[in-house]
Structure formats: C-alpha cells, structure tokens
Homo-oligomer: A and B are copies of this chain.
C-alpha cells in the first residue's frame, strides 16, 4: 500500500486536512508506517488532480485556512480495489540488528551502552503508545484495535528480546562488569 492508497483510506473514514492526516500517521500508524508533510501534500495534490478526492476550503480567522479533503466515488473505487491486491513481503530495516552483527568491532565499553540506549527508546515508545490508549479505544474499530494490540505486543517482545541479548552479552567472557 503506497501513501496515496493510505490517504484515500484515511479520508474515507472521515474528511480530513493534510495536517490531520499527518497526525493520524503519527498516532495510529506509528507501528507500521509513517509520512512527512513533504510526501503528504504532494500526494493530496495529485489525488485531487486525478479526480479521486475534492477539497473544501474552510476559512478560519486567527488560524490558517484549512483544506478539507473528501473522497469521491472514483477515489473510493480505487481505494477498495487497492485493498484486494496481494501484499508484498515486508522489507525490514533494523539498524540495531545491523549494528549487532558488527558488534565484535564495537569497543567493549560501548556495547552495553548502545543496547541500553535502545531499550530506553523502546520503553519510551511503549509509554507513548500506552498514553494513546484512550484515543484508540474511542476511535478505533475492531481491526484497528487489533493493530494497536498487536503493535504493543510486538514492542514488548522486542524489549524482552533485547534485554535477553543484553544479559547474554554481559555474560560473554572478557566483558567488563
């Protein structure tokens, strides 16, 4: 699913501005996707040019005007069709595991530090996701709830796995402390 189909799906839920789309990416899609304004706005532009969505300008005073995008029939059709395409295998990019692969070249004193930093980041993310719970419970449908739970679950398993790696590294011969 590329960004255009995701955006179509988002404004199918309800009409939205580019800004709100970004927020939704940051909230609900943290586990599995992401997008910056630099890709959202051009995508919206193209979707509109192709007649898949329309925009309504909402004039605000004090705040910048909002462009509220709504999905059109043609857009809905394209979106629904995109949901039937087979999924491509997920491409992984895990910097930490890459680093771990070369750990024999990382100075001994730095190893546990790197792992700890990573664990801390994951735990911070876990906290962030837990804070999101009320939002999810009030806005998510059954499948989105499944996404949320699965995402948290995987994160927890990651943390546990990383802590176990930490222990194993600590128990390695020639490891300070």
Q: Could you tell me the distance in whole angstroms from the C-beta of A71 to the nearest C-beta in chain B?
A: 11
Q: Are B105 and A141 in contact (CB under 8 A)?
A: no
Instruction: Give this chain's copy count.
Output: 2
Q: Could you tell me the distance in whole angstroms from the C-beta of A28 to the nearest C-beta in chain B?
A: 7
Of A15-23, A46-54, A61-69, A153-161, which stretch is located at the interface?
A153-161
Interface residues on A, range: 35 or more
Q: A9-B102, A87-B117 are in contact. List 5 more A-B contacts (CB 8 A).
A: A80-B105, A83-B110, A84-B106, A87-B96, A91-B93
> Closest 3 interchain pairs by CB?
A32-B94, A32-B97, A103-B143
Interface residues of A in 133-173 (CB under 8 A from B): 141-144, 146-147, 150-151, 153-154, 157-158, 161, 165, 168-169, 172
Residue of B with least CB distance to A94? B32
Q: Are B92 and A33 in contact (CB under 8 A)?
A: yes
Residue of B with least CB distance to A85? B99
A114 is an interface residue with CB less than 8 A from chain B: yes
Q: A79-B105, A92-B32 are in contact. Are A147 and B84 (CB under 8 A)?
A: no
Interface residues of A in 100-147 (CB under 8 A from B): 100-107, 110, 114, 117-118, 121, 125, 141-144, 146-147
